[in-house]
Amino acid sequence: MFSRHISAVVGISSFCLGIWMDRKYRELNALHSIPGFKIFDAVYADGLVANNQELIVNNEQRISQIMKYGFPSLDNVRSYKNFVLSYDQRNRIPHWVLEHLTPESVQYNPNVDRSSCEFYEDNSFHEFFRATNKDYKNSGFDRGHLAAAGNHKSSLELIKQTFVLSNIAPQVGKGFNRSAWNNLEKYVRKKAKHNKNVYICSGPLFLPKKGEDGKLWIKYQVIGDNHVAVPTHFYKIVVTESTESKFYLECYLMPNQVIPDDIPLKDFQMPLEVIERASGLQFFKRLTLDKFTKLN
DNA sequence: TTTAATGT
């Protein structure tokens, strides 16, 4: 099977051992009594230009809603109107990007058109660490969104913010960004249409592969003058809260390469632990920790 | 329907 092939290629099968879960969909417990979750005191790239106090307060409420189940890490966090990211200054791509979707937020809106959007540099980072449009030009890679443009079509302002280059990573275009990865994003939007809340964390991975010498190596291309790193893989963690307030978890891992169209999405499902070990991050800890304590 | 780059 293709999925087994992927595991072998990426060399992660070793730490799959013993942690494969009985069920692919794990039901998680709702946390209605989180003790006073205080929003992380980050630099608000968006708040910096806001001078209306009410706007700032509302934006903080929105951010705390997006980050309700925890921060995967606290490195170079930036919050935008409708998504939050942590930026990898060395690789000039995000570490992770978090979104919160609802049936209203993904409703079809013919008035919002992505063709009026342009990719732009994130000036909140030092120029040494910024990715530019020139880096991607003629690189052969797409400027792939992590917070997908299609998830933020409720207003022109929101969709425009997803085009900030700190939300972008180099993705194989034909056969990946425009196919399998796009299908995964569409699947998530469909979930959002039929459930109360969907929380998504997306990001890049750099996974080792066995070299001719039999040793494990991590090898990746860099593009442009700023050496923007091309990830070997991308992950997506999806937490769905149903209308009955039950929680479900799905994790996906895809190689950044041409993927045949006939591979079903479920072949890319991975245990959460695999993605946590590979990324050095822990996702939705406020939910999973609660579940784990109940298992003990 | 949504991805996005490239060439005019």
Report yes or no on A257 lying in a domain.
yes
> By mean pLDDT, which of A40-54, A223-237, A259-273 is the weakest?
A40-54
What's the pLDDT at A167? 98
| A60, part of any domain | no
CB atoms under 10 Å from CB of A76, counted, come to 18
pLDDT of A19 > 90? The answer is no
Q: Structurally, how many domains does chain A consist of?
A: 1
Share of residues in chain A with pLDDT > 90 (%): 74
Which pair of tokens denotes residue A188? 């998530």
CATH number at A122 reads 3.40.570.10
Kindly state whether residue A97 falls inside one of the protein's structural domains. Answer: yes
Whether A153 and A99 have beta carbons less than 8 Å apart is answered as no
In this prediction, residue A254 has a pLDDT band, given cuts at 50, 70 and 90, of very high
Percentages of chain A per state (helix, strand, coil), in multiples of 5: 30, 25, 45
CA of A188 to C1' of B1 (A): 14
> Which residue has the closest alpha carbon to B4 C1'?
A142
Nucleotide whose C1' lies closest to the alpha carbon of residue A153: B2
pLDDT value for A52: 56
Is there a domain that residue A127 lies in?
Answer: yes
A49 domain-assigned: no
Residue A179 placed within a domain = yes
Average pLDDT over residues A162-191: 97
Strand B neighbours (CB under 7 Å) are A 108, 114, 119, 136-140, 142-145, 148-151, 153, 173, 177-178, 182, 185-186
* Average pLDDT of the residues in A37-44: 37
Can you give the residue range of the structural domain that contains A80? 68-295
The answer to whether residues A64 and A56 touch, using CB atoms and an 8 Å cutoff, is: no
pLDDT at A290: 55
Quote the CA–CA distance of A107 and A34 in Å, as a whole number: 30
Kindly state the average pLDDT of the residues A16-45. Answer: 34
In a domain, A47, yes or no: no
- The spacing between the Cα labelled CA in A177 and the C1' in B4, in angstroms, equals 8
Among A251, A265, A250, smallest CA distance to A179 is for A265
Instruction: Identify which has the larger pLDDT, A110 or A210.
Output: A210
For residues A52-56, average pLDDT:
61
Q: Is residue A241 part of a domain?
A: yes
The per-residue pLDDT for A41 is: 35
Pairing assessment for the beta strands A197-205 and A233-241 based on DSSP bridges: antiparallel
Q: Chain-wide mean pLDDT for chain A?
A: 84
A244 secondary structure, DSSP code? T
Give chain A's count of helices (H) and strands (E): 7, 13
Q: Are strands A209-210 and A247-255 parallel, antiparallel or unpaired?
A: unpaired
Which nucleotide is the nearest neighbour of A152, by CA and C1'?
A: B2
Model pLDDT for residues A181-223, shown as the tens digit of each residue: 999 999 999 999 999 999 999 999 999 999 999 999 999 999 9
Residue A294 pLDDT = 40
